[in-house]
Amino acid sequence: MLRHVVCLTWVDDVAPAAVDAVVDGLRALPAQIPELRGYWVGTDRRLATGNADLAIVADFDDDAGWRAYQQHPAHIAVLTERIRPILAHRAAVQFDWDR
């Protein structure tokens, strides 16, 4: 099993509606991308300073599933239309994970 974790930080003064559109777009992806085995999206609760604004955790059977997700038109649309216009920083990691 492959786990993909992404943390996103928005530009200053981002509109709440833009963040809501990102969350809605991301949460719609599991219904469109069959390679996703688990998928969680959440905004930071602001318990600590310096945190990212949003996290995504996605599980796949293997590297091929992750690549299919990365190249899927629905994922690309969320990236280009909703995330990149408000993105200041992105950090990600993929690692082997056993349930």
User: Residue 57 has what pLDDT?
Assistant: 98
φ, ψ for residue 94 (rounded to 5)? -125, 135
Here the CATH number for the domain that contains residue 17 is 3.30.70.100
User: Residue 40 has what pLDDT?
Assistant: 98
Q: Are strands 2-10 and 87-96 parallel, antiparallel or unpaired?
A: antiparallel
What is the C-alpha to C-alpha distance for residues 25 and 81, in angstroms, rounded to an integer?
A: 10
Tens digits of per-residue pLDDT, 52-88?
A: 999 999 999 999 999 999 999 999 999 999 999 999 9
- Domain with 55, as residue range(s), is 2-96
Q: pTM higher than 0.85, yes or no? A: yes
C-alpha distances out from residue 7 to 34, 42, 52, Å: 23, 10, 6
Cα-Cα end-to-end distance for the chain: 8
- pLDDT band for position 98 (cuts 50, 70, 90): confident
Give the total number of structural domains in the chain.
1
Tens digits of per-residue pLDDT, 3-38?
A: 999 999 999 999 999 999 999 999 999 999 999 999
What is the C-alpha to C-alpha distance for residues 81 and 61, in angstroms, rounded to an integer?
A: 28
